[in-house]
C-alpha cells in the first residue's frame, strides 16, 4: 500500500517573472516539511508537465538541479492536461515495483511564456492533427460540440452550466491558492451574459490558463515513519485512453476513458460511487464537469442537469464537487492540475481544508483528463487503510 505523507502547493496565477524551476521550490520544500523528510530521503523524482509550453526544453533536468535533487533519477511525464496524474501513476508503479521507497511527484506548468493565441493553437492540436486540426479546431470548440450534443439529447441548458460556474467561483473565492481568490461577484446572469467563446460556451464556462506547481511525497507503507500522523492512502487507481480523433467516437455525450478509468479505480478500491464523500473533477469547461458526474457514476446518464438543479454537487449535497474552485476558479496550469487535485483531497481527508471542510470525509476521488479524454486518470484516496492488498 502506498501512502501520501507530504503535500505542498504554490499559488496559481500569472507569474511571468518567475522561471519554471522556481515555481517548484515552495511546493517541494513544503511537502518535505509536511512529511518530516529531507531532500536526501527522496529516491526518485517524477515530474508531470506539458513541455511545449516552455522555452526551456527537458525541464526535468533543470528542476532537479535547481532543487538540489541531483543525482536522483528523474522522470518526465506528458499526457496533456493529465500530465500531473500521469506522474503520480508512474511514481506509484516505481514504488510498487520496489525500485524506490520514497518518491517526490511534482506537477508544474508555466503558461505565461506564450500568448493566448499560441496556447489556443497548441490546444487545438490536441485532437487528430491530420484530419481535424486542419479545419481550425480549438479546445473550446471541441467541448462546445459535446455541449451542443448533450443539450440536444438530454435537455441540458446553458443555465445548468452557469450554475456550475457560479458554484466553483463561490468555492474558489475562499481558496488561498486559487487564481480567482476573493472573486465573489460571479452570478448566473454574469455567466450567461459573458462573451461567447464557442457556442454555447461563454467566457465564464471556460477555465483560465495559469502558472503554478504542486508536489507530493509518496512512500511505501513499511517506510512511513511514525512521525507522519495521518498518511493518506491511494486505495484505487484507474487509467484509460481514447482515440485522438474526437469525431470518430461512438458518442459525443460522454468521455469513455472516464468511464473505464473510474471502473478500474472503483474495483481496486472495492467501493461504489455512492461511497465517495468528495470529488475533484476536471472542469476545463463547465460541460466537462457535468459530463463527469454521469461518467463517474454520480448520477445516471443524461441526469447531470438534475444533479446540478438539486445541488447534489455542492458542499451540502450528496457528493460535493470541486470545493477548491476546480480548474474554473483555481486556474489550470496543465501539468500541475492533477497534483493540485490530490493536494486538495488530502487536505480534506486530514480535516485541514482552508474552507468548506467536508465533515467526516473518509473517501475522496480525483478525476483528471488529458485533452478531450484522450487520457483519463481516476484516483481514490482514503484516510483509513483498507483491509485489501
Stronger pLDDT, 315 or 386, i.e. the higher one: 315
Share of the chain above pLDDT 90, in %: 85
SS3 147: helix
Beta bridge partners of 109: 212
- Predicted pLDDT of residue 388: 52
Does 121 have pLDDT greater than 80?
A: no
Architecture of domain 2-114+209-223: 3-Layer(aba) Sandwich (3.40)
Average pLDDT, the chain: 95
| Spatial separation of the C-alpha atoms in residues 39 and 222, rounded to whole Å | 19
| Spatial separation of the C-alpha atoms in residues 299 and 273, rounded to whole Å | 9
Average pLDDT of span 10-27: 95
| Spatial separation of the C-alpha atoms in residues 366 and 322, rounded to whole Å | 10
Does 52 have pLDDT greater than 70?
A: yes
- Predicted pLDDT of residue 106: 98
Does 110 have pLDDT greater than 60?
A: yes
Among the ranges given (56-65, 76-85, 228-237), the one the predictor scored with the smallest mean pLDDT: 56-65
Among the ranges given (136-140, 273-277, 292-296), the one the predictor scored with the smallest mean pLDDT: 136-140
291-303 pLDDT, tens digit each: 999 999 999 999 9
| Spatial separation of the C-alpha atoms in residues 325 and 189, rounded to whole Å | 19
Is residue 343 very low, low, confident or very high in pLDDT (cuts 50, 70, 90)? very high
Does 228 have pLDDT greater than 80?
A: yes
Closest-CA residue to 275 (of 387, 380, 385, 164): 380
- State the residue for C-alpha cell 511514525: 226
User: What are the boundaries of each domain within the chain?
Assistant: 2-114+209-223
Stronger pLDDT, 363 or 59, i.e. the higher one: 363
Q: What are phi and psi of 327, to 5 degrees?
A: -60, -35
| Spatial separation of the C-alpha atoms in residues 83 and 283, rounded to whole Å | 16
Is residue 389 very low, low, confident or very high in pLDDT (cuts 50, 70, 90)? very low
By annotation, the residues acting in catalysis are 81, 332
| Spatial separation of the C-alpha atoms in residues 44 and 151, rounded to whole Å | 46
Stronger pLDDT, 247 or 259, i.e. the higher one: 259
Amino acid at each position: 500500500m502506498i501512502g501520501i505523507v507530504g503535500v505542498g502547493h504554490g499559488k496559481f496565477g500569472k507569474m511571468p517573472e518567475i522561471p519554471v524551476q522556481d515555481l517548484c521550490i515552495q511546493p517541494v520544500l513544503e511537502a518535505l516539511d509536511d512529511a518530516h523528510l529531507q531532500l536526501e530521503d527522496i529516491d526518485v523524482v517524477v515530474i508531470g508537465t506539458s513541455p511545449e509550453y516552455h522555452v526551456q526544453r527537458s525541464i526535468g533536468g533543470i528542476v532537479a538541479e535547481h532543487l538540489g535533487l541531483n543525482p536522483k533519477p528523474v522522470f518526465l511525464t506528458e499526457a496533456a492536461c493529465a500530465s500531473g496524474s500521469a506522474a503520480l501513476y508512474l511514481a506509484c508503479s516505481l514504488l510498487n515495483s520496489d525500485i524506490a521507497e520514497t518518491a517526490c511527484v511534482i506537477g508544474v506548468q508555466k503558461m505565461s511564456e506564450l500568448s493566448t493565441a499560441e496556447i489556443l493553437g497548441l490546444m487545438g492540436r490536441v485532437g487528430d492533427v491530420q484530419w481535424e486540426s486542419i479545419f481550425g479546431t480549438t479546445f473550446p470548440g471541441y467541448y462546445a460540440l459535446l455541449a451542443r450534443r448533450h443539450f440536444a439529447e438530454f435537455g441540458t441548458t446553458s443555465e445548468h452550466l452557469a450554475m456550475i460556474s457560479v458554484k466553483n467561483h463561490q468555492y474558489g473565492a475562499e481558496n488561498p491558492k486559487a487564481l480567482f481568490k476573493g472573486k465573489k461577484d460571479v452570478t448566473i446572469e454574469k455567466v450567461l451574459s459573458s462573451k461567447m467563446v464557442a457556442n454555447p460556451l461563454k467566457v465564464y464556462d471556460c477555465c483560465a490558463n495559469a502558472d503554478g506547481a504542486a508536489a507530493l511525497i509518496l512512500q511505501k507503507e513499511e517506510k512511513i515513519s511514525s512521525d507522519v500522523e495521518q498518511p493518506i492512502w491511494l486505495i484505487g487507481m484507474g487509467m484509460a485512453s481514447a482515440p485522438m480523433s474526437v469525431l470518430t467516437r461512438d458518442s459525443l455525450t460522454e468521455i469513455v476513458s472516464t468511464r473505464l478509468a473510474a471502473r478500474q479505480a472503483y474495483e481496486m478500491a472495492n467501493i461504489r460511487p455512492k461511497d465517495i464523500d468528495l470529488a475533484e473533477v476536471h472542469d476545463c469547461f463547465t460541460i466537462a464537469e457535468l459530463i463527469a458526474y454521469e461518467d463517474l457514476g454520480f448520477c445516471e446518464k443524461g441526469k447531470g442537469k438534475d444533479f446540478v438543479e438539486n445541488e447534489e454537487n455542492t458542499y451540502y449535497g450528496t457528493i460535493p464537487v470541486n470545493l477548491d474552485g476546480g480548474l474554473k476558479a483555481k486556474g489550470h496550469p496543465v501539468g500541475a492540475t492533477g497534483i493540485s487535485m490530490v493536494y486538495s483531497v488530502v487536505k480534506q481527508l486530514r480535516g485541514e481544508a482552508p474552507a468548506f471542510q467536508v465533515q467526516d470525509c473518509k473517501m475522496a476521488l480525483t478525476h483528471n483528463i488529458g485533452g478531450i479524454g484522450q487520457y483519463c486518470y481516476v484516483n481514490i484516496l482514503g484516510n483509513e487503510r483498507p483491509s485489501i492488498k
